[in-house]
Amino acid sequence: MATVLYLDELSKNYGSLKAVDRLSLEVEAGSIYGLLGPNGSGKTTTLGMVLDVIRPSNGSFLWFGRSISKETKLRVGALLETPNFYPYLTAKANLQVVADTKQANHRHINKMLDMVGLGTRSHTTFKGFSLGMKQRLALAAAMLNDPEVLVLDEPTNGLDPQGIAEVRDLITRIAAQGKTILLASHLLDEVEKVCTHVAVLQSGKLKANGPVGNILSAKDQLLISAEELPPVLQLLERLPYVVQFAQEKSYISLTLSEGYTSTDLNRDMFAQGIVLSQILVRRKSLEAQFLEITQK
């Protein structure tokens, strides 16, 4: 697979604050790469640097294997932080300005407006738009010259549930055309639902990265209880497939290694004469996993 974007020890310092700290990443063609992290973790700063509007303090990055230039910029459509348009111009006039810059065919403007559902509002000025419409106009602008790569910074930020669903649907449709998408988000379920790869950022540092399945694999958690807990605890210590367990009030929570289920546990308990009064399978929340990753 060809590498679309390569970051090598990219850093940005604001005084003594390290907004991004020696970040190295590789985004492969065709992937939907999520940049996940809480607010202020350096996602926007990272995207700002690779988009040529923030000067890196250190390190370097390559687009399509070469340094950034007009030619590489035209292959990337990007939406950074907020939709940026002239408030007094209509949607169409704003896209004309963008089309000039991107050397895009002006005939695509109406087509893109239709695609994001703004076809009937093309003569409304930008300042009259709702937040969701502004966001969709920004997506239309980003895709105006049919770029190979889309960089989207918090594309669903501030949208209502319907707007979120629409934007996500749009992203999946775009990705289905074989485009590479780099998506920054602080929403775990967004990244899990949409992305193929993820990098977790915290305080500007890379905490984990890889395919979403590996990083955010939701291992099942079991909750069990019995009349007498001490014998259960003793047995759990001897069972090889129990990864970890902990007593919490009247029950015990535990996780099993891959390939084992609650059935195995129940059978082994019964074989030792222990009758469990309750077995509950609970999917471990993404939030809990995220906290686990960031607290490593």
Interface with another protein, residue 123, by CB under 8 A: no
Interface with another protein, residue 270, by CB under 8 A: no
Interface with another protein, residue 136, by CB under 8 A: no
> In this complex, which beta carbon is closest to another protein, that of residue 51 or of residue 276?
51
Q: 219: which residues sit within 8 A by CB, 6+ positions away? A: 255, 284
Per the CB < 8 A criterion, the answer to whether 151 and 51 are in contact is yes
> In this complex, which beta carbon is closest to another protein, that of residue 55 or of residue 296?
55
Residue 202 CA to residue 265 CA, distance in Å, equals 37
Which tokens hold the place of 216? 């955010």
> In this complex, which beta carbon is closest to another protein, that of residue 125 or of residue 262?
125
Beta strands in 142-283, from DSSP E residues, in sequence order: 149-153, 180-185, 197-202, 205-211, 220-226, 242-248, 251-256, 276-283
Closest CA to 147 of 104, 185, 113, 109: 104
Per the CB < 8 A criterion, the answer to whether 180 and 148 are in contact is yes
Residue of 82, 124, 255, 262 that binds another protein (CB under 8 A): 82
Residue of 18, 22, 73, 205 that binds another protein (CB under 8 A): 73
Size of the site for another protein (CB under 8 A): 29
Interface with another protein, residue 53, by CB under 8 A: yes
Residue whose pair of structure tokens reads 């590996």 in the numeric block: 214
Interface with another protein, residue 93, by CB under 8 A: yes
Interface with another protein, residue 98, by CB under 8 A: yes
DSSP-H helix ranges across 36-160: 43-50, 70-73, 91-102, 108-115, 131-142
Residue of 8, 18, 54, 115 that binds another protein (CB under 8 A): 54
Per the CB < 8 A criterion, the answer to whether 150 and 179 are in contact is yes
> In this complex, which beta carbon is closest to another protein, that of residue 86 or of residue 270?
86
Strands 180-185 and 32-36: parallel
Interface with another protein, residue 107, by CB under 8 A: no
Residue of 58, 60, 97, 291 that binds another protein (CB under 8 A): 97
Q: Shortest approach of another protein to residue 71 CB, angstroms?
A: 9
Interface with another protein, residue 280, by CB under 8 A: no
Stretch that binds another protein, among 86-94, 116-124, 188-196, 199-207 (CB under 8 A): 86-94
- Return residues touching another protein (CB under 8 A): 48, 51-55, 70, 73-74, 78, 80-82, 84-90, 93, 96-98, 100-103, 141
